[in-house]
Structure 1
Amino acid sequence: MTSTTLHRDSIEPTLFRQLLGCFPTGVAIITTRTADGRPAGLTCNSFSSVSLEPPLVLFSLRKASSLLGTFAEADAFAINILSERQDALSGRFASSKIADKFEGVAWRSGPLGMPIIEDCLASFECSVHARHEAGDHDVFIGEVKHMSGGPADQALVFYKGAYMMLAESLRTLVIQGRLGSADLDQAYRTLYGTLLRLACEQATEGEIDAIEAAVDAIERHQPDDSLAQRIESASRFFSAIAAAGHNEALTLMAQTMTTILRERMTHVIPVRPRPDLFPLRRKVVLCLRRRDADGAAAALDELITKLRTGGDVAAEPGRA
């Protein structure tokens, strides 16, 4: 097994985030009240315990979050830990397009007045113990004042940018032979073709620059670079396309697919770099800059076809 050690000056943010995703986490909705008493909340997977005596927990919030000011002014908050049946709630509270996150959601006020979402695995109502600035996030530490348990369901788990239950379902279908390479390839073409069309409409020049930077990284690889390094670069190319599509639901689907396909890439990525594929990725970028959705989708489709069928590729299990 080959590993690569990166030092501080070479810590690339996208890769850093992807590697952090190797640590599975639960998913929670953090709630509080605005200054005028309205409920507010967001989805979070940075929740962690801190201390048993006194009982302390924490979560971190991006400084860019629209709710940072609300939480900074509040003297209490609640942690609502989600079950795997509450994935829709997770998506709802993560969306920037839903104005009233609580509309149609069953919740009650806790003893401290914080919104407690019904049917969660557990809820902790906390007074604010401390708040610390930490890079591009603020860390909120709360002292648990009240807590309650819910149904004995499985937890909603986030892993490598995807809900584990969906990723595991896909993996099971692959193992059982009910979801073959052709099915996955077709899904990938359809999903990323749609994301490219959305990117042609909505992507900023900076987001297209990020896709081009991923292409640059792929082309810089040397023949003796490890397969793991090249898989990471290929993943970043597709992740940048997903981000440029500006559709949270499709991005989540893309991340979930990639959880499975990163494993398959071991058998699909060429053993050695394929310079003949470089023009196709460049064509994707060029078509994006020209806002040519059909051209971008066609170039990506050809790229996937050639990756799958052409050149010196690693043999899949069961293949000669």
Structure 2
Amino acid sequence: MTSATLQLDAIEAKLFRQLLGCFPTGVAVITTRAADGRPAGLTCNSFSSVSLEPPLVLFSLRKASSLLGTFAEADGFAINILSERQDALSGRFASSKIADKFEGVAWRPGPLGMPIIEDCLASFECSAHARHEAGDHDIFIGEVKHMGGGGPADQALVFYKGAYMMLAESLRALVIQGRLGSADLDEAYRTLYGTLLRLACERATDGEIDAIEAAVDAIEQHQDADSLDQRIESASRFFSAIAAAGHNEALTLMGQTMTTILRERMTHVIPVRPRPDLFPLRRKVALCLRRRDADGAAGALDELITKLRKGGDVPAEPGGQ
């Protein structure tokens, strides 16, 4: 087929936005000075580096933004990289309902006079270098003239699939502090993955069931010399494959949360030891899925979790080997 006859589907805007959200980005507040000297700013996750020699960065701004003219007329701007504890600032500078975004916000003028927000992870003060029109956005490129860090030793605020991605770090703290009990986790695994297995019996493709069986194979093939990271990866893959086979995006996101907990507990809390007595139960889960036996699959998972907890004086995990 030639390029002249190739027919391509139109890009659907909602799906385009949704798929772009699969790429996690940092969050920054872009600031500048209006013509009358007042500070102006907005939240942005389109910040990117461009060049090292000279040091160039960019951000993009919607043509419909009320601040487009302000940035277009300014002779510079500042990029303020937010930490995860500054999510309220992100919301403030993104809101169209707050007239004075800087009211109550600690900031200082940088050497170029651009507003630098206090306690950010990093800041880059730039002189205007270039501006380009691109579809419904304008791209602003700045040359970095001054930069700074020295904020609190926090994680960066990350935006992912339309939400702030702080959950993993919060879960890590809960796990290490021992605030997630085994009984509650067992109940969560039974409820979540039992539901996913029932959905998978209706929706899974043969290839997705093959992936679950491959994860079981990997667990059974581990040698004593294999590293903890390898064992954790295999255990995580087993549950991730079940989640994928259930074809429910909301439950899959919950499954990712449980996978994070599993990884942290196996790394920091629960000693991992070989459990060949569990091999038949994982096989039974996969076999029942192949037969589209929802009750059998959920029952095998329940038996697996129960046996893990009764497996001896060394505590075990749903991913235990």
Is the CA contact 2:309–2:316 (under 8 Å) kept in the aligned structure 1? Answer: no
In the alignment, the residues of structure 2 paired with residue 216 and residue 62 of structure 1 have an alpha-carbon distance, to the nearest angstrom, of 50
- Farther-moved stretch of structure 1 (302-311 vs 7-16): 302-311
- Give distance in 2, aligned partners of 1:293 and 1:97: 50
Contact kept, 8 Å, 2:78 with 2:114, in 1: the verdict is: yes
Q: How does 1:116-195 map to 2 (within 5 A)?
A: 116-147=116-147, 148-166=149-167, 169=170
CA positional deviation for 1:18:
0.8
**The 10-residue stretch of structure 1 (287-296 or 308-317) with the greater mean CA deviation from structure 2:** 287-296
The alpha carbon displacement at 1:150 in A equals 2.4
Residues 158 and 164, structure 1, Cα contact 8 Å, conserved in 2: yes
Contact 1:60 1:140 in 2 (8 A): yes
Q: CA deviation at 1:42?
A: 0.3
Check whether the contact 1:269–1:307 (CA below 8 A) recurs between aligned residues: no
Distance 1:272 1:15, change over 3 A: farther
Aligned partners of 1:89 and 1:187: how far apart in 2?
34
CA–CA separation in structure 2 for the residues paired with 1:192 and 1:143: 51
Cα separation, partners in 2 of 1:231 and 1:319, compared to 1, 3 Å: closer
Task: Return the offset for 1:26.
Answer: 0.5
Contact preservation (8 Å) 1:160, 1:259: no
| C-alpha contact 1:208 1:288 (8 A) present in aligned 2 | yes
**Alpha-carbon contact 1:14-1:236 (below 8 Å) kept:** no
Range 5-14 or range 253-262, more displaced: 253-262
C-alpha distance after superposition, 1:23-68 (max 9, x if no partner): 1110000000111000000000000000000000000001111111
Tell me the matched-pair count. Answer: 320
Measured after TM superposition, the shift of residue 118 of structure 1 is 0.3
CA contact (8 A) 2:157 2:165 kept: yes
What fraction of aligned residue pairs are identical, expressed as a percent?
A: 91
Deviation at 1:10, TM superposition (A): 2.9
Conservation of the 8 A alpha-carbon contact between 2:270 and 2:317 = no
Residues 244/319 of structure 1: CA separation in 2 closer, same or farther (3 Å cut): closer
Whether contact under 8 Å (1:235, 1:258) holds in the other structure is yes
Distance in structure 2 (CA, Å) of the matches to 1:234 and 1:88: 37
RMSD after superposition: 11.6
Deviation at 1:139, TM superposition (A): 0.4
The 10-residue stretch of structure 1 (48-57 or 211-220) with the greater mean CA deviation from structure 2 = 211-220
Structure 1 segments unaligned to the other structure (5+ residues): none
Pairwise CA distance, 1:131: 0.3
Query: Does structure 1 residue 84 correspond to structure 2 residue 84?
Result: yes
The range that moved more, 306-315 or 92-101, is: 306-315
| Greater displacement, 27-36 / 277-286 | 277-286
Contact in 2 for aligned 1:131/1:141 (Cα 8 Å) = yes
Distance 1:223 1:4 in 2: 59
Q: In 2, Cα distance between the equivalents of 1:144 and 1:67?
A: 21
Offset, 1:149 = 4.0
Q: Is the 8 A contact 1:199 1:288 kept in 2?
A: yes
Moved more, 304-313 or 49-58: 304-313
Give the Cα separation in 1 of the matches to 2:145 and 2:79.
Answer: 12
Residue 192 of structure 1 and its aligned partner are, at CA, apart by 24
* Distance (whole Å) between structure 1 residues aligned to residue 29 and residue 249 of structure 2: 17
Structure-1 separation of matches of 2:7 and 2:245: 28
Residues 272 and 320, structure 2, Cα contact 8 Å, conserved in 1:
no
Q: CA deviation at 1:16?
A: 0.6
Deviates more, 1:168-177 or 1:281-290: 281-290
C-alpha distance 101-204 of structure 1, shift in aligned 2 (>3 A): farther
- Deviation, 1:278, is 41
CA contact (8 A) 1:266 1:314 kept: no
Which one has a bigger Cα radius of gyration?
A: 2
| CA shift in 2, pair 1:58/1:180, >3 Å | farther
